[in-house]
Amino acid sequence: MKYLLLLLLISPLSQANDLPIKGFGSFYNVPKHEPISASTSFRIAFDVADGAKEGAQNNSINSLARFINMHVAHGVKPENIQLALVVHGSASVDVLANSEYKKRFNIDNKNRYLIEQLLVNNTQVFVCGQSATHFKVTPEQLISGVKMSLSAMTAHAQLQQQGYTLNPF
């Protein structure tokens, strides 16, 4: 019985049907965490530079889904969570539309459904134009809703001016 209780306390809550991001963003219940006010509002930018292995999900992008699901499950209103994803470096190919990804790698883009769900859950997604150009990614090749920024540095500077903080990891 003691082990069952322990398992329940540390098991992922991501099975809940009322979470905004489906199939991504697993997290653990933390029974004695500092309280989060129901009026809490987040505006956070996440930076992702390392690409996933071909055909694999980018776990750094999944962090945004975890952030959303975890906080909604703990009482933060979905509309109070505004995230931004700034993608650069080798991760630039992770935001390719599935048809373009398949042309390059002969496999589906495992990030597309995740990114599509993030986009409908108050998340802006930017790809660095400098990295995209280096990796031969054009705006027309991106998942619908992903925006091309002049650079990742530009996107972060503009997001900071809009009140976004940078997630430190």
- Structure confidence by residue, pLDDT tens digits, 12-42: 544 456 899 999 999 999 989 999 998 999 9
Task: Count CA atoms within 13 Å of residue 107 on its CB side.
Answer: 12
78 Cβ contact list (under 8 Å, min separation 6): 20, 68, 72, 121, 122
160 Cβ contact list (under 8 Å, min separation 6): 45, 166
pLDDT digits (tens, 9 = 90+) for 149-166: 999 999 999 999 999 999
45 contacts 82 by C-beta, under 8 angstroms: no
Integer CA distances (angstroms), 152 to 66, 99, 155, in order: 23, 25, 5
Report percent pLDDT > 90 for the chain: 86
Kindly report the backbone phi and psi dihedral angles of residue 53, in degrees, each rounded to the nearest multiple of 5, phi listed first. Answer: -65, 150
Q: 45 or 9, which is more confident?
A: 45
- What pLDDT is recorded for position 17? 66
C-alpha 156/C-alpha 1 separation (Å) is 49
pLDDT digits (tens, 9 = 90+) for 104-146: 999 999 999 999 999 999 999 999 999 999 999 999 999 999 9
